[in-house]
Chains A and B, each alone.
Chain A
Amino acid sequence: MIARILTRGSLYVLMSLVAFVSVFPFYWMIVGATNTSSDVIRGKPTFGTALFDNIAHFFNLFDVPRVLLNTTIIAVVGTVLTLALSSLAGYGFEMFRSKFRDKLFGLMLTMLSIPFSALMIPLFIMMSQAGLMNTFVGIILPGIASIYIIFYFRQATKAFPSELRDAARIDGLKEWQIFLYVYLPVMRSTYAAATIIVFMANWNNYLWPLIILQSNENKVITLIISSMRSGYNPQFGAVMVAVVLATLPTLFIFFALQRRFVEGLLGSVK
């Protein structure tokens, strides 16, 4: 009995610790947004009264609606294109047999081992030669064939019953119709999970936009947060406001799709 209480107790202590470690940055971010810069530096852990000053300061420094619009366009268009292209590829890899299928897939997976920093300069040269510097297309294009997402969709497609595809073929659907009207709705949990992953990656992307985007009117939220921090006299309260604003959309997407996200990771077809 005592042993059970002890195990339970230590379990709760451990879980509380983990919860604290994960939640504290959020708390710090929100508290920071209400405090003055000097309070943030001092490490004041309680809510202050400088929220509206910080917001005003932030909006004075940047064209915030424009920045949010830029970020949204890149994240949404990037996510839609990535899901469309990568899920098609994953579906194709699993559904169509060919001699080269597994070799090709293996080759593709080995690409995962090449770090982005190694691809950065060749990609930069490609984009520059294609005239895509300082454009959203230049940001979005290199990411839409995501090996990781293709792999994820191929694995998930293994659980898609091939008899459903057979039934649809007998019902008179062409391959693209099977994909659109049967595969896509059946796999919606997989899509939900992939949406969260890809949207977050696109929204939070920093390095690639830093390289591609040069003019101020094209800047995205990660870039301006970084530029606020590195100024001569950084206003940390305003930085925290920006961080809150940058976090909200991903939080929203996550909570909206949370149930499907878990289903998707467990496998959507039951």
Chain B
Amino acid sequence: MSGLKLRGVRKSYGNVQVLKGIDLDIDSKEFVVFVGPSGCGKSTLLRMIAGLEDITDGDIAIGGRRVNDVDPSKRGIAMVFQSYALYPHMTVRENMGFALKFAGVPKAEIEKQVQEAAKILELQPLLERRPKELSGGQRQRVAIGRAIVRHPQVFLFDEPLSNLDAELRVHMRIEIAKLHKELQTTIIYVTHDQVEAMTLADKIVVLRGGEIAQVGTPLKLYDDPDNLFVAGFIGSPKMNFLKGQLENERVVLPEYGNISFPASVSASAPQEVTVGIRPDAFDAGGSEQLPLKVEIVEHLGNETYAYGRLGSGELLTIATDNDRQVKPGDDFVARFNPSSLLLFSEDGQRIR
């Protein structure tokens, strides 16, 4: 049992509430990603789970045990930091064995653990080096190795890939996914990069302003967001948002040529809505259409994105099904099916 239960977890610094009551269940062996814009409280929440920050209110339980007042080293967690936080005066071997040494583990056992972790992470040739003699990716692997040797119930990762270049980031992302498969432990991973969240997570927790905006699988959040924030945050390029009105069982877009189409929901009284449509929801065979003028074209090879301006002035992102013929200045008709739209009320909540 290495699941986590968070109940009404709050954090305040003086009068400033950073976390406003977090309730969350994390199952054993689950890979959970906390994602959100900077300042949303995701790192603070992680540090509270680690025991590096006091809990203002609420309870945190790891493996069924309440850990609010338990020392960080006794919570059964290990943490990998953004800056790696390797001890600069120690070799890789010493860095990895440091926690065990302080726990009074016999030397031979420490060596065995270090060797095992080094084997998993292919660090064996580097054991005698100091952190400053390693590349960023190698340092990151040592930091992960230091976590592995402690055999924690829960791994905590605090934006571990932010300091790496793009290529290495993708590589390490795959390494971490592999590691999760191999070690079969619970992982909580903090990032502001929604691509990392989508690719790694079993479950994503989207945080905003100290509250949970939505919890769900990556595809659930992508296909079925609860609110405007999650709809806009998950997915790259971002979802397009248009102003509209919901009347009876139809959606009207008065600012975009007054087009109207059937809605999947009905409203008793007419109401203002936000219509969300993902760039890849545009479909050449769609029943509805929005005429626009292409301003910028991005060729990614496997996909071509067109950024087109509507008559009303909004810029729309369209995945063109890799139509490589589109050019800036072209008149383009973006077609879509009403069934692929999402509707949000004025307060940003999804209308289902």
Q: Do A and B bind each other?
A: yes
Q: Which of B83-91, B197-205, B287-295 is found at the contact surface with chain A? A: B83-91
Bound-state Cα–Cα, A172 to B70, Å: 12
A166 x B79 contact (CB < 8 A)? yes
Cross-interface CB contact of B81 among A166, A173, A185, cutoff 8 Å: A166
Verify A169–B132 contact, CB threshold 8 A.
Answer: no
B52: which A residues are within 8 A, CB to CB?
166, 169-170
Q: Indicate whether B98 reaches chain A with its CB closer than 8 angstroms.
A: yes
Per-residue 0/1 for A22-39: is the Cβ within 8 Å of any B Cβ (1 yes, 0 no)?
000000000000000000
B340 interface hit (Cβ, 8 Å): no
CB distance from B240 to the nearest CB of A (A): 39
Q: Is there contact, CB below 8 Å, between B72 and A169?
A: yes
For residue A188, which residues in chain B have a CB less than 8 angstroms away from its CB? 89
- Min CB gap A172→B, angstroms: 3
B102 with A167: CB separation less than 8 A: no
A161 to B89, CA, bound (A): 14
- Asked if B103 is at the interface (CB within 8 A of a chain A CB), the reply is yes
Q: CB distance B81 to A163 under 8 Å?
A: yes
Proximity bits, B61-90, A CB within 8 Å = 1, else 0: 000000000011110011101110111110
Pairwise interchain contact B87-A164, C-beta atoms closer than 8 A:
yes
Q: Binary interface profile of A, 163-186, with partner B (CB < 8 Å = 1, else 0)?
A: 110111111110001000010011
Highest count of chain B CB atoms <10 Å: which of A169, A170, A269: A170
How many positions in chain A have a CB within 8 Å of any CB in the partner chain? Answer: 18
Please determine whether B77 and A170 come into contact, CB atoms closer than 8 angstroms: yes
Partner of A186, one of B47, B74, B79, B88: B88
Q: Does A4 contact B (CB under 8 A)?
A: no
CB–CB A163/B89 < 8 A? no
Tell me if B296 is interfacial: C-beta within 8 Å of chain A.
no
B87 contacts A170, CB within 8 Å?
Answer: no
> Is the CB–CB distance between B87 and A186 below 8 Å?
yes
Closest chain B residue to A177, Cβ basis: B102
Within 8 A of A (CB), among B141-165: 146
Is A169's CB under 8 angstroms from B73's CB?
yes
When distances are taken between beta carbons in the complex, the residues of chain A under 8 Å from B50 are 166, 170
Q: What 14 additional pairs, Cβ within 8 angstroms, besides A166-B79, A172-B102? A: A166-B50, A166-B81, A168-B87, A169-B51, A170-B51, A170-B72, A170-B79, A171-B99, A172-B74, A173-B102, A177-B102, A186-B89, A188-B89, A269-B88
Q: Would you give 8 A-B contacts (Cβ < 8 Å), ordered by A?
A: A169-B73, A170-B52, A170-B72, A170-B73, A170-B77, A171-B99, A172-B99, A186-B88
